[in-house]
């Protein structure tokens, strides 16, 4: 089994933080990564038009190796 993680981090306009952790897995390492990339881009799609002050995502392996990250910052 291969597993990757995507963490979504949100900072509200009031300065409070929220986070969500997603784990994506498969018997095939390539499929496991594709599932994680899909979730990563799904989050960023929402983050691009979010009303949060900051809305970000990071994708990393089960070994803790970061693969991709992105943060959108939106004014008040």
Cα separation, 40 vs 5, whole angstroms = 9
Cα separation, 49 vs 44, whole angstroms = 9
Specify the pLDDT at position 10.
Answer: 98
| Per-residue confidence band for 75, with pLDDT thresholds at 50, 70 and 90 | confident
Residue 76 has pLDDT above 80, yes or no: no
Buried b (16+ CB within 10 A) or exposed e, 28-64: eeeebbebbbebbeebbeebeebebbbbbbbbbbeee
**15-69 residue pLDDT tens:** 999 999 999 999 999 999 999 999 999 999 999 999 999 999 999 999 999 999 9
Specify the pLDDT at position 55.
Answer: 98
Going 23 to 28 to 29 to 34, the CA torsion angle's sign is negative
Kindly state the average pLDDT of the residues 9-16.
Answer: 97
């Amino acid at each position: 089994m291969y597993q990757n993680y995507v963490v979504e981090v949100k900072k509200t306009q009031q300065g409070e933080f929220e986070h969500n952790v997603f784990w994506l897995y498969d018997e095939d390492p390539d499929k496991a990564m594709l599932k994680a990339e899909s979730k990563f881009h799904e989050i960023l799609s929402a983050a691009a038009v979010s009303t949060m002050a900051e809305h970000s995502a990071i994708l990393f392996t089960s070994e803790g190796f970061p693969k991709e990250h992105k943060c959108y910052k939106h004014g008040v």
